Structure formats: C-alpha cells, structure tokens
C-alpha cells in the first residue's frame, strides 16, 4: 500500500482528506490553504506572462513558487497552453500577452456580440437532439465567431479537439508534480462558465440586459437545456483525473449585474439544476462567485448542503456569508489582492488569523486569495498568508 503523503509535519490528514472534510462541513485537522495563482507564477520566477504558454516554463515556475513559499493543499489551475481554449470555456474575444498584447500585460476580454438572439431557440432544439453533446456543439459554434481563422462546421472540431486533447495530456503530466509533493487538485475541471452567465458573456452585457427584458423565457429554457451537456463534460473529465470536484464560474450573476429577484427568477433555476445533477453523480461544486453576492446568499441555501464551495473575491462580506450559508456550504477566500500587493506581512497575518478564527470556526472553510493572487504581490505577504494556517489553523491545538 502506498504511504500517505502529509503536506506539513503537524498534519494528521492528507490534503485530499482535508479538502473533502472541509467541503462536507466537517472539522479537518487544520484549515486548508488554496491560493488561486496564475500570473504570479511568472512574476515570482522572473518570466514574462507570455512565457506561461510554454509548458516547461510554466511547470518550472509553479514548482518554484510551491517549493519556496509554500506548500499549499490544492492546485487551483485554470491555465491553457492554447490561447483559443480560454474562449472555449469563457466565450469572449481575448487579447493575450505575446499575441495582441505586450508580453508583460495580462489577458484582456472584449465585450462583443458572439451570440445572437436567435441562438437561444437553436440551443434548445440542438439540445433536444444531442443533450449530452450540447456544451461541445454550442462552443464549437462560437469558436469561429471569436477567431476568424477557425472555420465553421467540422473544421472547428478539427481545430479545437486535438488542442483540447493535448491540453489534457499536459495536465496529467504536470499533476504528478503536485501529487508527489503531497498536494491534491482543487478540481478535475474548471473553470466552466454556467449556462446563464455564458449567455451574458457571449451576447455582451448591454445586449444581454435587453434580452432579459424582451425574452427571459427563452434565456431560461436555453440555459436549462444546456445542463445535461455540462454534466456530461464535467463527469467525463472527473473520470479522467479522479478528483470528484468541478469549478463553475458565475461572473455575471452577482448583485453587480442582477437584482436578488432577477437572480432567483432567471439565474438560479439552471444553476440549481446543474448543481443537483452533479450532486447525483457524487461531484462537489466550487462556485467562483465574482462580485457582490450579499443579497443572493439566502437564495443559495436552496443548493444541496455539504456539496458546494463558494469562492468569494472580497466584494462579498465573507463574515456575513459564514452567518447566512456557513451551515450549508464551505466558504473559501478571501485575502485581498490589494493587501497582498501593498500591505505588510503583519497585516496579512492579522487578517488571515481573523478569517481562520471567525469563518473557520466549526470547519467548512478554506483559506485562499480573493479571486486570483495579485501579479504584483509581495513574496513576504504570500508567505505570511500560507504560513497562517500553521500558526492558527489547527483545530485540535490551543491558540498560540
């Protein structure tokens, strides 16, 4: 039998055991640390952001940060080595470092109308014919609209699918680095935009707001019709990598975009259908909730208990989230980017201590960054954040 790898000397659980316990709202041996890192890998290693498209450079940079400032419990990955694949999951026109942008400028998204109003009805009809393949088919329809060099029809499949397969092969190879060090994966697939938010991104914000007034029923029908395709995609990837967790993005469902009533009426039904379907497959869901969710928290109580993680980026009151839904889902966050970039280690340590003591009370908490770790974060602040779980995060030890 293979010996269990413990991440830290004082640990009594593996990282995977710790993650599962936190998601199930149980009390693990200590609070898991799960930073969300991409561009900071390059910053810390002295690379350009464009270098992260090179598998060898990316892999070397991840391990350098993990070994020198870490460790941490789970690999929160969302990179692609083929720039087109970013738009496969977030259907927007992108400008990338080393392509349209200088090598040291982070990715930018452009608000353009990739999707047209008539696509809602098309998605419903297409999903009836091939429900399990609906996600693939919709995204393949979008790809030639995003990149003019990708031809429509079967040629879009010929372009995207080999790159998708190569990306999965790269993942399998690099995941071994993390497993060998005692870390686990945060999820097997992610981030995948939920159907409602996919439409908002693909239509563009202003056109989509108008759509909500003109034909909300068509939007809801199309979003719900896509759910079987999402479940099929997520289940297939979970079976490939073995970690029964998936991340779903909710970039346009916060109170910054929708009123609480609009969220309950238009966005929640397809979200609930998706989370319930994944629950039936034994797959936990990490919800990446950008923006302010203060007035939507109560509605999220309708999702299965002990099944979901809610990742907050600092705009939501994380302490309120603990009070409102902490008995239903694991809270994840939310050390601010500004603090990690501009603050002092003592400030980071103090805030992490408060998170662990208040949000981590009774389990059901993961310490992480508020969205992505700032590309200009100070190394000593990152170290202070990761070390805080050793100082304050063990549940069976008295406070030092």
pLDDT in tens, 346-368: 999 999 999 999 999 999 999 99
Q: Average pLDDT for residues 160-185, to the nearest whole number? A: 94
In order of 48, 124, 221, 265, the CA distances from 217 in angstroms are 46, 12, 6, 10
Report the percent of the chain where pLDDT is more than 70: 98
The length of the chain is 400
Q: What is the CATH number of the domain that holds 68?
A: 3.20.20.210
| Predicted pLDDT of residue 358 | 98
pTM of the model: 0.95
| Predicted pLDDT of residue 396 | 83
Q: What is the extent of the structural domain holding 28?
A: 15-392
Tally of structural domains, the chain: 1
Q: Average pLDDT for residues 195-215, to the nearest whole number? A: 96
Which tokens hold the place of 391? 């100082």
Residue 400 falls within a domain, yes or no? no
Band (400; pLDDT cuts 50, 70, 90): very low
Give the span between the Cα atoms of 257 and 246, in whole angstroms: 24
Helices marked H in the chain: 15-23, 39-45, 55-69, 83-89, 119-129, 134-146, 154-180, 195-203, 205-214, 216-241, 260-262, 268-280, 318-325, 337-342, 345-354, 379-392
| Predicted pLDDT of residue 120 | 98
Q: What is the pLDDT of residues 374-393, one digit of tens each?
A: 999 999 999 999 999 999 99
Residue 337 falls within a domain, yes or no? yes
Give the span between the Cα atoms of 257 and 245, in whole angstroms: 27
Phi and psi at 141, nearest 5°, equal -65, -35
Q: What is the pLDDT of residues 223-257, one digit of tens each?
A: 999 999 999 999 999 999 999 999 999 999 999 99
Residue 26 falls within a domain, yes or no? yes
Q: What is the pLDDT of residues 122-168, one digit of tens each?
A: 999 999 999 999 999 999 999 999 999 999 999 999 999 999 999 99
Nearest residue to 72 via CA among 395, 385, 396, 399? 385
**Taking the CA of residue 136 as centre, how many other CA atoms within 13 Å lie in the half-sphere pointing to its CB?**
17
Q: What is the pLDDT of residues 32-89, one digit of tens each?
A: 999 999 999 999 999 999 999 999 999 999 999 999 999 999 999 999 999 999 999 9
Task: Give the per-residue SS3 of 105-161.
Answer: CCCEEECCCCCCCCHHHHHHHHHHHCHHHHHHHHHHHHHHHHCCCCCCCHHHHHHHH
Residue 296 falls within a domain, yes or no? yes
Residue 9 falls within a domain, yes or no? no
Residue 374 falls within a domain, yes or no? yes
In order of 72, 86, 123, 208, 256, the CA distances from 112 in angstroms are 38, 16, 19, 11, 20
Band (3; pLDDT cuts 50, 70, 90): low
> Which are the contacts of 52, defined by CB distance < 8 A and separation ≥ 6?
38, 39, 41, 42, 58, 61, 79
User: What is the number of other CB atoms lying within 10 angstroms of the CB of residue 74?
Assistant: 25
Give the span between the Cα atoms of 142 and 221, in whole angstroms: 19
Spatial contact of 329 and 307, defined as CB atoms under 8 Å apart: yes
Band (1; pLDDT cuts 50, 70, 90): very low
Q: What is the pLDDT of the chain when averaged over all its residues?
A: 95
Band (398; pLDDT cuts 50, 70, 90): low
| Predicted pLDDT of residue 52 | 97
Phi and psi at 32, nearest 5°, equal -70, 145
Q: Average pLDDT for residues 323-346, to the nearest whole number? A: 97
Give the span between the Cα atoms of 242 and 296, in whole angstroms: 32
Spatial contact of 28 and 34, defined as CB atoms under 8 Å apart: no
Of residues 399 and 295, the one with the higher pLDDT is 295
Residue 5 falls within a domain, yes or no? no
Give the span between the Cα atoms of 68 and 65, in whole angstroms: 5
């Amino acid at each position: 039998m293979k010996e269990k790898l413990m991440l830290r000397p004082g640990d009594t659980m593996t990282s995977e055991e710790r993650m599962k316990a936190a998601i199930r709202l149980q009390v693990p041996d200590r609070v898991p640390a799960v930073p969300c890192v991409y561009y900071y890998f390059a910053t810390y290693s002295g690379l350009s952001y464009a270098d992260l498209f090179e598998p060898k450079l990316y892999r070397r940079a991840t391990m350098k940060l993990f070994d020198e400032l870490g460790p941490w419990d789970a690999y929160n990955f969302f990179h692609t080595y083929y720039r087109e694949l970013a738009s496969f999951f977030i259907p927007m026109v992108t400008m990338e470092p080393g392509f349209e942008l200088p090598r040291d400028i982070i990715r930018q998204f452009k608000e353009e109308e990739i999707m047209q109003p008539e696509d809602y009805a098309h998605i419903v009809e297409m999903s009836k014919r091939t429900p399990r393949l609906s996600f693939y088919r919709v995204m393949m329809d979008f790809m030639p609209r995003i990149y003019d060099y990708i031809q429509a029809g079967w040629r879009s499949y010929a372009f995207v699918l080999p790159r998708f397969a190569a990306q999965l092969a790269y993942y399998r190879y690099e995941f071994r680095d993390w497993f060998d060090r005692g870390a686990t994966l945060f999820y097997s697939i992610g981030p995948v935009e939920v159907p409602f938010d996919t439409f908002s991104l693909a239509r563009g914000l202003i056109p989509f707001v108008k759509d909500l007034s003109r034909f909300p029923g068509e939007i809801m029908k199309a979003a719900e019709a896509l759910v079987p395709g999402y479940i099929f995609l997520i289940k297939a990837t979970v079976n490939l990598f073995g970690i029964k967790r998936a991340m779903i993005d909710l970039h346009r469902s916060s109170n910054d975009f929708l009123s609480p009533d609009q969220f309950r009426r238009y966005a929640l039904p397809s979200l609930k259908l998706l989370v319930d379907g994944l629950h039936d497959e034994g797959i936990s869901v990490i919800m990446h909730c950008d923006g302010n969710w203060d007035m939507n928290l109560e509605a999220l109580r309708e999702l299965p208990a002990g099944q979901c993680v809610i990742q907050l980026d600092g705009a939501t009151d994380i302490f309120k989230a603990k009070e409102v839904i902490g008995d239903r889902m694991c809270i994840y966050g939310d050390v601010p980017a500004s603090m990690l970039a501009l603050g002092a280690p003592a400030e980071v340590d103090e805030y992490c201590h408060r998170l662990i003591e208040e949000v981590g009370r009774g389990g059901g908490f993961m310490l992480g960054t508020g969205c992505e770790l700032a590309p200009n974060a100070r190394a000593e602040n990152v170290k202070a954040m990761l070390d805080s779980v050793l100082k304050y995060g063990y549940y069976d030890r008295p406070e030092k």
